[in-house]
């Protein structure tokens, strides 16, 4: 083979290799950029190890039931694409409350779900879901105090919780201040969970409640604490200790978390039309750019504190609106009939540090679900 021919072959080969490399790189890059960030769910089985939690009928232990339900919920979620599950514990070990929050924060989680069982001196029954908030009454404070008292079992708890006293109402009130930004989304999930327990499992609905739980305070994301049922109630304890009962609760919580995620996805859908694909049999969601009788806003915060709507209170955002609903103040940024414009406002809010900012819609002054609007589009 002469040197000229060899040079041509060498150049051609090198060009081919470069071409293959570029195709591979661009293909991989496209895949990486086109993939959505995983939605991270932290599942927290209450108590564990030296802390049995509540002990009920026939010495049933809260820590064991909570762990079995958590592992089943996690197994179901792990089968879903774009959902990543992180556990605070997968075995019978003691985990400090601050460590549970640290695990969630380190994972940059999108959701924190803590699972527990209830107890009472009577034959009380039913399911309830809690979000972080000031104790509305003495009874709610007592519930929070019982769950928070586990910190007394931890080493150096005075240092880890900076003087927090689980027996002090003042300490409990102070827990709410840093979590209020996520209150609405926490309530949204809690409501979905309670509806599932009531309609699917036919459990007595004890409602969505607020109290100062340390484990919820430690997290910086929408968070709920589920009290599945009373293990001091003979019938509920038997159900919660059964494979059937644990499976039913697990499936219900799993479905409700998925429903919550789907609602968030609808809330953040882009203005690009999603065209129906008959082959993939996907649903068509067509978003109009403007609605004549709908007004969009970006909710950036919610809480019990009444703040002046000045830019210095909202990281430089101007034109912030405050609306009171019950005892909660909600703060909105931007107001427009254009969905495309409100998406821009949402990006601005997130760039200012309001990472959980989400779009809400109002029809004739009343809040309506965005999913409903899109279904009618």
* Angstrom distances, CA of residue 343 to CA of 94, 170, 338: 44, 39, 9
Same fold for the domain at 39-266 and the one at 270-376? no
pLDDT at residue number 266: 61
Query: What's the rounded Cα separation, in Å, for the pair 86 and 375?
Result: 33
Structure-model confidence comparison of residues 284 and 330, the more confident one? 330
pTM of the predicted structure, to 2 decimals: 0.60
Beginning with the edge strand found earlier in the chain, give each strand of the sheet holding 39-45 in spatial order. Answer: 83-87, 39-45, 111-118, 223-230, 127-132, 205-211
Give pLDDT tens digits for 84-134.
Answer: 999 999 999 999 887 888 898 888 889 999 999 999 999 999 999 988 764
Mean pLDDT of 221-244: 94
- Looking at the chain, the whole-number percentage of residues with pLDDT higher than 90 is 36
Which pLDDT band holds residue 215 (cuts at 50, 70, 90)? low
Mean pLDDT value across the chain: 74
Q: Can you name the CATH fold of 270-376?
A: Alpha-Beta Plaits (3.30.70)
The pLDDT assigned to 231 comes to 96
| Average pLDDT over every residue of 211-240 | 84
Per-residue confidence (pLDDT) for residue 301, from 0 to 100: 82
- Comparison of pLDDT for 98 and 377, the residue scoring more: 98
Domain positions in the chain: 39-266, 270-376
Cβ 56 vs Cβ 119: under 8 Å: yes
What value does the mean pLDDT take over residues 149-175? 47
pLDDT at residue 362 in the model: 87
Residue 263's pLDDT is what?
80
CATH architecture type of domain 39-266: 3-Layer(aba) Sandwich (3.40)
Higher pLDDT: 85 or 329? It is 85
pLDDT digits (tens, 9 = 90+) for 19-33: 333 333 333 333 333
Stretch 145-153: mean pLDDT: 50
pLDDT at 352: 83
Instruction: Say what the pLDDT of residue 212 is.
Output: 63
């Amino acid at each position: 083979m002469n040197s000229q021919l060899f040079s041509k072959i060498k150049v051609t080969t090198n060009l081919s290799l470069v071409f293959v490399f570029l195709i591979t790189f661009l293909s991989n890059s496209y895949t990486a950029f086109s993939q959505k960030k995983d939605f991270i769910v932290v599942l927290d089985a209450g108590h564990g190890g030296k802390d049995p939690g509540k002990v009920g009928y026939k010495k049933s232990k809260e820590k064991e039931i909570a762990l079995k339900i958590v592992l089943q919920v996690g197994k179901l979620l792990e089968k879903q694409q774009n959902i990543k599950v992180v556990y605070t514990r997968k075995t019978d070990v003691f985990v400090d409350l601050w460590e549970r929050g640290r695990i969630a924060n380190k994972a940059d989680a999108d959701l924190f779900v803590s699972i527990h069982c209830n107890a009472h001196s009577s034959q009380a029954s039913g399911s309830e879901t809690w979000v972080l908030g000031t104790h509305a009454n003495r009874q709610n404070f007592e519930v929070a105090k019982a769950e928070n008292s586990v910190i007394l079992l931890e080493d150096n708890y005075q240092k880890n919780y900076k003087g927090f006293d689980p027996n002090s109402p003042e300490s409990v009130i102070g827990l709410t201040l840093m979590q209020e930004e996520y209150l609405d989304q926490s309530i949204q999930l809690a409501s979905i969970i309670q509806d599932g327990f009531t309609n699917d499992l036919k459990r007595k609905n004890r409602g969505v409640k607020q109290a100062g739980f340390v484990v919820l305070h430690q997290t910086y994301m929408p968070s709920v604490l589920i009290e599945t049922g009373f293990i001091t109630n003979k019938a509920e304890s038997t159900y919660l200790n059964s494979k059937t009962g644990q499976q039913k609760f697990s499936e219900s919580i799993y479905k409700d978390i998925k429903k919550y995620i789907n609602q968030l996805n609808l809330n953040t859908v882009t203005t690009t039309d999603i065209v129906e694909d008959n082959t993939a049999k996907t649903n068509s969601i067509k978003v109009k750019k403007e609605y004549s009788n709908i007004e969009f806003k970006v909710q950036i915060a919610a809480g019990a504190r009444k703040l002046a709507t000045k830019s210095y209170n909202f990281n430089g955002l101007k034109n912030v609106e405050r609306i009171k609903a019950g005892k909660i103040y909600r703060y909105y940024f931007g107001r427009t009939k254009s969905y495309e414009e409100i998406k821009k406002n949402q990006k601005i809010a997130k760039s200012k540090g309001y990472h959980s900012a989400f779009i809400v819609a109002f029809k004739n002054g009343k809040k309506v679900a965005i999913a409903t609007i899109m279904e009618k589009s």
